[in-house]
Structure 1
Amino acid sequence: MTPPVLIVAAPDDWPTDRVVTELTSRGVEVFRMDTADFPQRLTLTGRIDQRHGWAGGLATAHRAVDLSRVGAVYYRAPGAFQFPHGMSGPEERFAAAQARAGLGGILSSLECRWVNHPTAMARAEYKPVQLAAARESGLRIPATLVTNQPESVTEFVRQTPGPVVFKPVSSPALVEDGRLKSVYTRLLTAEDLDDLRGVKVTAHLFQAWVAKDHEVRLTIVGERMFAARIDAGSDAAHIDWRSDYGSLSYSDISVPEDVTAAVRRLMDRLNLRYGAADFVVDPSGNWWFLEVNPCGQWDWIQGATGQPIAQAIADELQGGAA
């Protein structure tokens, strides 16, 4: 009997819906849960002893899964734990820590295929870790500075022959006054350099600008790679294509053999089976690594190019390419 696949994701994550549909169409048993369901709508029973590893199960009002049978886990941006109303702030924080250590600990201990394991994802989400791993793997990376010292920024700009950009070190999204806002990559201007006092507030990332012919979103699933060329149709998108999706055009593109080999080494270093990597291709055809997101979006690329990414993820969860 085919072992079940455990999917840990928010219920409104529609790219995950496509993976679930693909798996169920193949006759695979799927148990989907969100950590936000715990402890009110999801129960956990786990037991271990000297003779046996973790056994027990997860259950909702409608479904259940035996932990010892799980063959693979697809872990993708689940929600925060939700506790009963009436708990104080300290009580909620204590309960969340217990839930994270209990439910999260048991799930993390499952010896099965992961796409991706949360501990690997947590480490890989650090851009400094990614850049170091990419460099060690043989990928080209732009000169980069992470600092909270204005003087270091001035010196970095002086030593960099071309323009310098600023980008967030972590997620570019924030919520302010109930509205979701994004911080996009932007070129540093003379006015910025005249007043760098804000740099002292926190860590900032500055990077040498790489002249762009086009960009590439490279989606890696196990041993398979899906490369989509991205051409920007506006000045804003030329600096950061996320700022103007409507101006973008997409096409399939082949990946140079040396880049393919280096990306495989990178994924091995980061212990990832899935990643959405962004590259700049300069006018000379050189590929420059910018970042790899271990939980990056892929559905819009599949829709624009027809690349079978959902099928590839299902294949990986079942043990490899079909």
Structure 2
Amino acid sequence: MSAPVLIVTARDDWPTDRIVIELESRGVEVFRMDTADFPQQLALACRIDQAQAWTGELATDYRTVDLSRVGAAYFRVPGAFRFPAGMSGPEARFAAAQARAGLGGVLSALDCRWVNHPTAMARAEYKPVQLAAARACGLRIPATLITNRPADVQKFAAEVGGPVVCKPVSSPVLIEDGRLKSVYTRRLAPDDLVDLRGISTTAHLFQAWVDKAYEVRLTVVGEQMFAAAIHADSDAAHEDWRSDYGSLTYATAAVPEAVTTGMLALMDRLQLRYGAADFVVGPDGQWTFLEVNPCGQWDWIAGATGLPIVEAIADELQGAG
């Protein structure tokens, strides 16, 4: 029997259902869990000593997995721990810290294939780290400024000598008034550079605008690359295609050899086995790296293009990528 695959993600992460189905169709044992189920619906019992590494199990009311047998782990977007009602705020925060260090620590210590290891993901999610690594790996990047000083934004715009965009440094999603909202990349008008007092409130990221013919979502799984050209048919989508999905059309694309080499080096440098990278392709055909998301969405791209991303992830988890 093949080694079990541990899948750690939210219960409602429905794209992962496709990976589970693919693995089970290959006869692979899958144990899927959400950290939100710990400690009330998920139990942990593991030990280590001088004679042996971590052994033990994860168990729900319906399934159990022997952690010493796990051959691979797929880590995406698990939920927050849920604790019994009646805990005070300090008690819940203490319990969450213990759960993160206990359950999270045992999982992180598993010596198996990871897609991706949570500590590697945590580091790779920093855009400054990505940009420095991409540059070092030979990928073309846009001139970038991160600051909370308004005067530096004006100086940067003058040095760039062309349009400048502002984008979030981290996740573009926030919750306000109980509603999920997104913050999109925005090209700044000359008037925007006059009054920049709000810049001092936190870190902001500015980049030189890169002229684009289209953009590419490059999904990397192990050594396999799946490129989808994204063509924007509205002004909003031309600035940030995520702002107007309805105006987008897709086509598969060939990846230049230099980009393939650079991306493989970048993934190795960031210790990632999966990444969803975004590139701008200019009118001259030049590819410019924007970012790589270690848990970026892939399902809609696979659906729109027919690219076999599900199969590639399953291959990687089986060590056959």
Query: TM-score, length-normalised on structure 1?
Result: 0.99
| CA–CA distance in structure 1, aligned partners of residues 142 and 114 of structure 2 | 31
Confirm or deny that 1:242 pairs with 2:242.
Answer: yes
Read off the aligned partner of 1:144 and give its amino acid letter.
T
Q: Deviations over 1:80-112 (max 9, x none)?
A: 000000000000000000000000000000000
- The answer to whether 1:313 aligns with 2:313 is yes
1:148 maps to a residue whose letter is N
> What percent identity do the matched residue pairs reach?
74
Note the alpha carbon deviations across 1:139-188, whole angstroms, 9 max, x for none: 00000000000011010011012100000000000000011110000111
Query: How far apart are 1:192 and its partner, in Å?
Result: 1.4
Give runs of ≥4 in structure 1 deviating > 4 Å. Answer: none
The answer for the alignment partner of 1:24 in structure 2 is: 24
User: Which residue of the partner structure matches residue 288 of structure 1?
Assistant: 288
Corresponding residue of 1:252: 252
CA distance in 1, matches of 2:131, 2:289: 8
Q: CA deviation at 1:193?
A: 1.1
Q: Write out aligned runs for 1:1-322 (5 A).
A: 1-321=1-321
Query: What is the distance in 1 between the residues matched to 2:270 and 2:190?
Result: 37
Q: Matched residues in 1 for 2:123 and 2:158: separation? A: 32
Determine the C-alpha separation between the residues in 1 that align with 2:278 and 2:145: 19
Amino acid aligned to 2:190: A
Shift of 1:191: 2.3
Question: Number of aligned pairs?
Answer: 321
> What letter corresponds to residue 208 of structure 2 in structure 1?
A
Q: Shift in Å at residue 289 of structure 1?
A: 0.0
Shift of 1:194: 1.5
Separation in 1, partners of 2:320, 2:146:
38
Partner AA of 1:63 in structure 2: R
Shift of 1:190: 2.2
Structure 1 unaligned segments of length 5 or more: list them.
none
- What's the secondary structure of 2:49's corresponding residue? coil
Q: In the aligned structure 2, how far is the partner of 1:310 from the partner of 1:190?
A: 45
AA matched with 2:64: A
Task: Say whether the 8 Å CA contact 1:279–1:290 is kept in structure 2.
Answer: yes
Q: 1:44, CA displacement in angstroms?
A: 0.1
Q: Distance in 2 between matches of 1:183 and 1:57?
A: 41
The alpha carbon displacement at 1:64 in A equals 0.3
Distance 1:134 1:320 in 2: 27
d(CA) in 2 for partners of 1:154, 1:302 = 41
Structure 2: runs of 5 or more not aligned: none
CA distance in 2, matches of 1:320, 1:26: 12
SS in 1 for 2:283: coil
Aligned-partner residue type, residue 248 of structure 2: L
TM-score of the two chains, using structure 2 as the length reference: 0.99
Contact kept, 8 Å, 1:236 with 1:244, in 2: the verdict is yes
CA distance in 1, matches of 2:104, 2:184: 33
DSSP 3-state at the match of 1:54: strand
Residue 313 of structure 2 aligns with an amino acid whose one-letter code is I
Give, in whole Å, the separation in 1 of the partners of 2:186 and 2:56: 51
Let me know the Cα RMSD of the aligned residues. 0.5
